[in-house]
Chains A and B, each alone.
Chain A
Amino acid sequence: MKSPLIRRIPRELKSEPGKQLAVFLFFVLIISAVSGFIVSADSLKEAYDETFEKYNIEHGNFELMQKADEQTFSDIEEEGDITLYENFYKQEETKGFDSKLRIFGQRDDVDRVCLLSGEMPYEENEIAIDRLYAKNHDLERGSEIEIEGAVLKVTGIVALSDYSCLYENPTDLMFDNDKFGVGVMSAKGFDSLREDKIHYCYSWMYNDGRPKDDTAANERAEELIKDISKHAAMTGFIPEYSNQAIHFSGNDMDGDRTSIMAFLYITVGILAFIFAITTDITITAEAGVIGTLRASGYTRGELVRHYLVLPMLTLITAAVIGNVLGYTFFEKYMAMAYLNSYSLTDYQVRFSPDAFIMTTAVPLVIMFIINLVTLTRKMKLSPLRFLRHDLSRRGKKKAFRLNTKIPIMTRFRLRVIFQNMPNYITIVIGTLLANAILLFGSVFNPMLENYQDSVSDNMLAEYIYVTKVPVETSVSGAEKGAMLSLETVGNKHDEDISVYGVADKSRYIRIDHSKDGVFLSSAYRDKYGIDEGDTIKLKDKYSDKNYTFNVNGFYDYPASLAVFMDIDSFREEFELDSDYGNIYFSNKELDDIDDSLIASKITRDDLTKTSRQLMRSLGSIVSIYKYFGVIMFVLVIYLLAKIIIEKNTQSISMTKILGYLPKEVNSLYVTPTTLVTIAAIIFTIPFSNWLIGFIMKVIFMSYPGYFKYEVSPVTLIGSGVIGVVSYILVSLLLGRKVKKIPLAEALKNAE
């Protein structure tokens, strides 16, 4: 026969529908959001992983100054043990909107194209373009794009398998799907475009298959670069494993999970603790009944199981509904975070064992353990102790003394705080977490805006031209310099560092070159915590050569990680000619240099690309955190403060009977929560600020460049104000609850 106690469960649910519903909905919300996130990430990642074989993604590509003749082509293939594919592109600037469009010819063998909608181009003036690029410029099937000498008609929306992330150059700090896009045309269409914009890009596939890991790929690439160099002049070389356009999206999908899971588990832990306290109070209130049941022969296990049912049932139901919503509604929403950033191929929603384990199994275990420990400890007491309502495990508590000069009302409030210390500690932890979430949602966009302002205010020059060959200009104010790219050594992520050779008494970069050593950009200093006098070690990307520099000082340049040295030292260090120079700093455009001689032009847009992209991909999603923080804040504080009131129902009723006015009763039982919560809001803001700063630093460590975590006092105060306003809502609910406690009823319940 089933335990008749089970019939109490629906009645208990009905007895506090508001609380049960609020907790249930919160569980549903977080489980569905996390489940949706994991399912979308896993489904997209699986589809992404499959693209390598499905679309035959290259093992690398290189670019030559000139088109390789047949002999060169076959020599490279033979010596490198590779198969080469022409993957030429022409890059044009669009008219009507500010962007660069990289157009490829038909791709049948390597880096094949995924058609998402419409048709592939056939006629000369037809083009299929990347989905994100189309979205960002309101282009659709039938739209027209004007470039120099042609008007192209969009026939389809595609994803290029080797451009899941729209990096224009492998060395770019960040991708930019607003100002850079890719597209494909038919062979005849491609040929019809002007020839001077062509890039002789060759993709390769190793004949013995894809290298098994990055180390093997690196070794093969190092060999290959030597083989190619023997036969042709290269202007670019990028093996697949280090190609951000191919790998950034995949790495990002792997990286987001930890913080989301930590958030889920902390939240479930807090809610499980709230359940445990609630159950503890229920047991105290039902001590007589429990004592009677135990005395009648009910075992501890039966009672423990009975009190476990409700929290477990709530979570299981929430997990089921949460997962259903996760796989349906939230999956689409969460996938948008990735689809707004990356040009991924089409994908199918797939069952994710990880989502089930992380959103259902682990939270259930957390909930089960916390409640089981609480219940088992409580139920260990003898039936007689229950019958006597003597449930204290530590014997009779002693009151500690408070100075009697403190007014009685203040002492009363202090006693309420001390009596409910576990609840208040949880309120502080909950406030900290909610504040952190709130702050994260509040600071993300302003931080990126600040970064953009800071970058704009501290540019080296309006334009930095990187030339392919030494070239002269007559534009006044242009200053010759040198630059090359090295990599950091010994970090988890090797990061590109731009090393600049700067003219003595430069008008653009004012640095004292009189002492030996180099200057680092402020971004480099802040990201890696480098002090003056330290030594930095960098390596050449394409050789095993290492360079060591003494840090002489810092230059206020937040836009990128850079090293500055005087140009003579630069030439000497890198064994270059005494007149070597490959860049120009200028505040005016250099219109007397042929475009074909310019490798890249770094402008304000380029430097703020990362922040703009982050804002575009994550800005709206991150803003949602604000609302989530508020919900969490309200829920945690309300549930815990409600428990405090429920625990003191008898005393509240008594104070009312004694003649305390409603505002006085509130001041005794709600004001302590107000004081603790307001103090928690104020004192946890700096800690939340530190925590978010730390999290941001960890997140952005894997991003190129450095975002200084800066929060204006206004944002911090605003976050506090949101907390206080949320609490006012809670305090109104609490006041209502206190008001509803009846006088006579509470007395009747006295045992």
Chain B
Amino acid sequence: MFLELNGITKHFGEGESRVEVLKGIDLEIQKGEICVLLGPSGSGKSTLLNIIGGIDNADTGYIAINGEKTKDMNEKALTKYRRKHLGYIFQQYNLIPNLNIKENVEVGAYLSDSPLDVDDLLKTLGLYEHRHKLPNQLSGGQQQRTAIGRAIVKNPDILLCDEPTGALDYNTSKEILKLIEEVNKKYGNTVIMVTHNDAIKNMADRVIKLRDGMIRKNYTNEEKIAAADLDW
């Protein structure tokens, strides 16, 4: 098993305002899968993604990648875990505003011993001609492509995508989803994507539906369709 989640619980607040966000998540994800986490607001999907990404800690339970449990890691080890295994894509891109496009991608490349070629990647992403621009000079779609470039340049084992199309229009969203799909095919990364867009589940190998902090459905998508053919 590539990625294993076992008995993950998480709460926020104390006393009367205590909210149990995750109530015992057990999950197994295979290497190279595209896994879509679906659920309404407050279902706990982003919290789960953050725990997988080592940004947040679970109250109980553990996560293991290739048998390596993150629970036993100190902060430094956790940072190295993110450095070695993870790439992150956010709804709001989170690019570094004072670095140009190429430099933003290079920031990701710096973390890997064997990164992808930055210029080749920029060409693949259609950003090469914009490489000297600052993020605020680009459209939302271009910025998200840059964020994808930054995440995949170090060729991570797992690509964590938190609502990657949440801030984009229909056409741009589809472009981004196509790109994620291409990356998955080309580099074989495991993709875990959080979304509340139900249509996106159709491009996934595995679909996990969350509600009230619990997995309500976990199934393999037998009728997977290409991102280019998605519609909503």
Contacts and interface: CB of A to CB of B under 8 A. Distances in A.
Of B88, B98, B100, B109, the most chain A CB neighbours within 10 A belong to B98
Nearest to A392: B136
Interface range on chain B: under 10, 10 to 19, 20 to 34, or 35 or more? 35 or more
B84 interface: yes
A16 to B, nearest CB: 23
B216 interface: no
Nearest to A661: B79
Given A415-B103, A750-B90, A750-B94, A396 B136 contact: yes
B140 interface: no
Interface in B144-172: 150
B150 to A, nearest CB: 8
Nearest to B135: A399
B80 interface: yes
Contact of A659 (B80, B103, B134): B80
Interface stretch (B13-21, B50-58, B176-184, B193-201): B50-58
A418 B98 contact: yes
Contacts of A659: 79-84, 86, 111
A409 B103 CA distance: 10
Interface stretch (A148-156, A240-248, A370-378, A650-658): A650-658
B88 A398 contact: no
A231 B79 CA distance: 100
Given A651-B96, A651-B97, A655-B107, A401 B56 contact: no
Interface range on chain A: under 10, 10 to 19, 20 to 34, or 35 or more? 20 to 34
A65 to B, nearest CB: 84
Given A399-B133, A657-B55, A658-B107, A404 B102 contact: yes
Given A409-B110, A658-B111, A744-B55, A415 B99 contact: yes
A412 B88 contact: no
A657 B53 contact: yes
A658 B108 contact: yes
Interface string B64-91: 0000000000001001111110101010
Contacts of B94: 650-651, 654, 747, 750
A515 interface: no
B106 interface: yes
Given A412-B107, A651-B96, A657 B88 contact: yes
A367 interface: no
A411 B134 CA distance: 14
A747 B79 contact: no
B221 interface: no
B168 to A, nearest CB: 15
B92 interface: yes
Contacts of A655: 96, 107
A207 interface: no
Given A398-B137, A658-B107, A744-B55, A751 B82 contact: no
Nearest to B93: A750
Nearest to B160: A657
A281 to B, nearest CB: 13
Interface in A389-422: 392, 396-399, 401, 404, 408-409, 411-412, 415-416, 418-419
A660 interface: yes
Contacts of A397: 134, 136
Contacts of A654: 94, 96
Nearest to A417: B98
B82 to A, nearest CB: 4
A79 to B, nearest CB: 85
Contact of B98 (A401, A404, A419): A419
B76 A411 contact: no
B132 interface: yes
Contacts of A412: 99, 103, 107
A270 interface: no
Nearest to A656: B79
Contacts of A416: 98
Given A401-B132, A656-B79, A408 B106 contact: yes
A397 to B, nearest CB: 6
Given A655-B107, A658-B88, A744-B50, 5 more contacts: A399-B100, A416-B98, A651-B96, A659-B86, A747-B90
In the complex, the 7 A-B pairs of residues with the closest C-beta atoms, listed nearest first: A659-B83, A419-B98, A659-B82, A408-B106, A399-B100, A743-B55, A399-B134
Interface of B: 50, 53, 55-56, 76, 79-84, 86, 88, 90, 92, 94, 96-100, 102-103, 106-111, 132-134, 136-137, 150
15 contacts: A396-B134, A396-B136, A399-B100, A401-B100, A408-B103, A408-B110, A412-B107, A655-B107, A658-B83, A658-B111, A659-B80, A659-B82, A659-B83, A659-B86, A744-B50
